[in-house]
Amino acid sequence: MHQNKNYLIVIVGATAIGKTALSIKLSKHFNTDILSCDSRQFYKEMAIGTAVPSSDELINVTHHFIQNRSIFDDYNVGQFERDAIEKLDELFQKNNIAIMVGGSGLYVNAVTKGLDYFPTVSPEIREKLNQELKKNGLEPLQEQLKELDIESYNSIELENPHRIIRALEICIGTEKPYSYYKNKPKRERNFTPILIGIDAEREIIYNRINQRVDSMMNKGLLEEAKKLHQHKKLNALQTVGYRELFQFLDDEITLDFAISEIKKNTRRFAKRQNTWFKKDKTLKWFDFEEDSGKIINYIDSIQ
RNA sequence: GGCGUUGUGGCCGAGUGGCUAGGCUGGGCUCUGCAAAAGCCCCUACAGCGGUUCGAAUCCGCUCGACGCCU
């Protein structure tokens, strides 16, 4: 082991695959903290529906970025990148190894690879663009992007309003094209990521998801959703498990249907997660039932 | 046994002589500050066999299956 080198073990995989349990084993073995990299586990109001580690697990191992935010806060990948890097700098003072676990691909990349720097722009710009979208549809926005940033116009998926609006808000807010900021050299990381993916056959993942949704309901997900119902417009609550229950609470669908929709949408989410992680060729995959000893051996072997 | 109704892709479901309805499930994919979000692509079926026709999922006949009623 090189004494002067830091390593970040990153555990990724589809939801409900068993990342939490593995990360706790690893954290005990390497005697280090865990950073969560899950874009919904930040929110303290959403404990049941995001399958946050149990209180036992949280007592045993120090976790960061779990339930440290409120759904009323504005939070995003950029801020997470800064917070996570800051935390890692602190952790690497004492230990040359840290663990990050999570299923949010973009957030993982932000920490391991870094995002380009974009100036913050006023949220009103986005609001305005969203209103325009609602009123006149996507086409005028596409045209506007063509004017302001032809490079992005040619590379962004033009049917995707989120992407168009993000590019536009940067163009408008900074008076420079969105593409101007992209693909700049990024700040060097002072650690080496070790990426570990956990996978299982589709059917096994799906069964685990179905079971976990049932167990969330038993733990009181509906009550949690009821408390949050009045805030359903908040971004943090645009989340599988809550949305569907809000629809039930609004009398749009039955509870049974809501539950089956939660399962379905979680399955689709899991599929997308795997699509994302499969792209990373530096990632080493392990079966979800693999003995953690083997994974530890793998980690030791590349340090 | 007779009579009637019916048979559309994994499921639901429209169509009715000639431009691959649509939805759901499922699968593949995209991804730089809303990411558990947002978006894109794919799965071309008409029970079987024969006939009519330039052309049939659509009309006719038979066979098979389903359902219903009657005896």
How far: A235 CA to B55 C1' (Å)? 56
Q: Are residues A213 and A140 in the same domain?
A: no
Q: How many domains does chain A have?
A: 2
In the predicted structure, residue A2 carries a pLDDT above the cut 80: no
Q: Are residues A65 and A97 in the same domain?
A: yes
How far: A241 CA to B61 C1' (Å)? 56
Q: Are residues A234 and A274 in the same domain?
A: yes
Q: Are residues A200 and A95 in the same domain?
A: yes
The CATH number for A130's domain is: 1.10.20.140
Whole-number mean pLDDT of chain A? 94
Would the Cβ of A40 be found within 7 angstroms of any atom in strand B? yes
Q: Are residues A31 and A162 in the same domain?
A: no
Would the Cβ of A70 be found within 7 angstroms of any atom in strand B? no
Write down the H helix ranges in chain A.
Answer: 19-30, 55-60, 77-94, 105-112, 123-136, 139-148, 150-155, 161-174, 178-181, 202-219, 221-228, 243-249, 255-278, 292-302
Would the Cβ of A207 be found within 7 angstroms of any atom in strand B? no
Does residue A24 contact residue A34 with C-beta atoms inside 8 Å?
Answer: yes
Mean pLDDT of A72-97: 96
Pick out the nucleotide with least CA–C1' distance to A178: B32
Summarised one tens digit per residue, pLDDT across range A113-157 is 999 999 999 999 999 999 999 999 899 999 999 999 999 999 999
Provide the whole-model pTM: 0.91
Residue A192 lies in a domain: yes
Q: Are residues A62 and A200 in the same domain?
A: yes
Q: Are residues A98 and A226 in the same domain?
A: yes
Q: Are residues A172 and A84 in the same domain?
A: no
A190, two tokens = 């002072």
How far: A300 CA to B27 C1' (Å)? 37
Name the residue range of residue A175's domain: 123-181
Residue with the two structure tokens 């230990």 = A95
From residue A51, alpha-carbon distances to A75, A193, A226 in Å are: 19, 25, 17
How far: A123 CA to B14 C1' (Å)? 46
Amino acid in position A100? M
The CATH number for A224's domain is: 3.40.50.300
Q: Are residues A143 and A274 in the same domain?
A: no
Q: Are residues A267 and A206 in the same domain?
A: yes
Summarised one tens digit per residue, pLDDT across range A244-265 is 999 999 998 889 989 999 999 9
Would the Cβ of A160 be found within 7 angstroms of any atom in strand B? yes
Q: Which of A106-110, A114-118, A251-255, A282-286 has the lowest mean pLDDT?
A: A251-255
Q: Which of A136, A151, A181 is the last residue of a domain?
A: A181
In the predicted structure, residue A79 carries a pLDDT above the cut 90: yes
Would the Cβ of A187 be found within 7 angstroms of any atom in strand B? no
Pick out the nucleotide with least CA–C1' distance to A107: B35
pLDDT band at A5 (very low <50, low <70, confident <90, very high): confident
Pick out the nucleotide with least CA–C1' distance to A77: B33
Q: Are residues A148 and A100 in the same domain?
A: no
